[in-house]
Amino acid sequence: MVTAIIPAAGQGKRMGKEINKVFIPLGNRPLIAHTVLALAQCPEINQIIVAAAVHEIKIMSDILANSNIGKEWRIVAGGTERQYSIANALKTVPDGTDIVIVHDGARALIEPPLVTRVIEVARQYKAAALAMPVKETIKLVNEAGLTIGDPAPRKMLWAMQTPQAFEAGLLLKAYACAERDGFIGTDDAGLVERLGTAVKIVTGSYRNIKITSPEDLLLAEMLSNKRREL
């Protein structure tokens, strides 16, 4: 049984709008509805848990109730960090779940076949994540703004995306260890790697953007219109 967790309890500060970016409309529905519906289209996923900010539970619930999700779904209260929002959701994962997938509410353009793929690979390798090769030259820069070297050859650098999928027991252990150590990571794969488990990379898509700043919204609108034309 596969449970999907969607953290959507952020503030969307970098988007610079008054509302949480996951409620911004994209085409005919809010971003979060696109995200949840994309995951709901994956036959492998049995239930969906969305983490929402406490003061946004009502609006989230209204949106999801009107979205014809067609799968079991529920909302949990989020936390002050993405990781805490996911930790809250993990506490409510139903017994019998063997795979947990985590997907950002803000990655509304995810294509269902990629979700299916990452779940299949997680069954094989225990841990899998979408990622894309970086296109830019990446450098380490110190606080004074001076370069201090290249981190690794570019062909070894991949930009992590979501969804990321894990054996349920492994992810629960990774979260318990991170909490014990006071470690905050920027993705779930990072928490699992701390246990010594390598995460199998699945090539994602440059269209699977995390809608973070206003330019991303423009790009999302273009990509989404293009998809409707096809």
Ligand X SMILES: Nc1ccn([C@@H]2O[C@H](COP(=O)(O)OP(=O)(O)OP(=O)(O)O)[C@@H](O)[C@H]2O)c(=O)n1
Interface with ligand LQXTBERG includes 160 (CB under 6 A)?
yes
Q: Which stretch binds ligand LQXTBERG (CB under 6 A): 23-31, 51-59, 64-72, 160-168?
A: 160-168
The two beta strands, 200-203 and 127-133, are parallel
Closest C-alpha among 29, 85, 19 to residue 53: 85
Among 30, 105, 163, 204, binds ligand X (CB under 6 A): 105
Taking the C-alpha atoms of residue 18 and residue 5, their distance in angstroms, rounded to an integer, is: 25
Give the residue, chosen from 37, 44, 64, 79, that forms a contact with ligand X under the rule CB under 6 A. 79
Q: Rule CB under 6 A: which of 97-116 touch ligand LQXTBERG?
A: 104
State how far the Cα of 209 lies from the Cα of 198, in Å rounded to an integer: 24
Residue 85 partner contact from ligand LQXTBERG, ligand X, none using kind-dependent CB cut-offs of 5 to 8 Å: ligand X
Chain residues 171-210 in contact with ligand LQXTBERG, contact rule CB under 6 A: 186-187, 210
| Count of residues engaged in binding ligand X, rule: CB under 6 A | 21
Sign of the torsion formed by the C-alpha atoms of 116, 120, 126 and 131: negative
CA 127 to each of CA 65, 164, 192: distance values in angstroms, whole numbers, following the listed order: 31, 8, 8
Element spanning 70, H or E: none
Regarding 109 and contact with ligand X (CB under 6 A), the answer is: no
Residues at the contact surface with ligand X, assessed by CB under 6 A? 7-14, 22, 51, 78-82, 85, 104-106, 210, 212
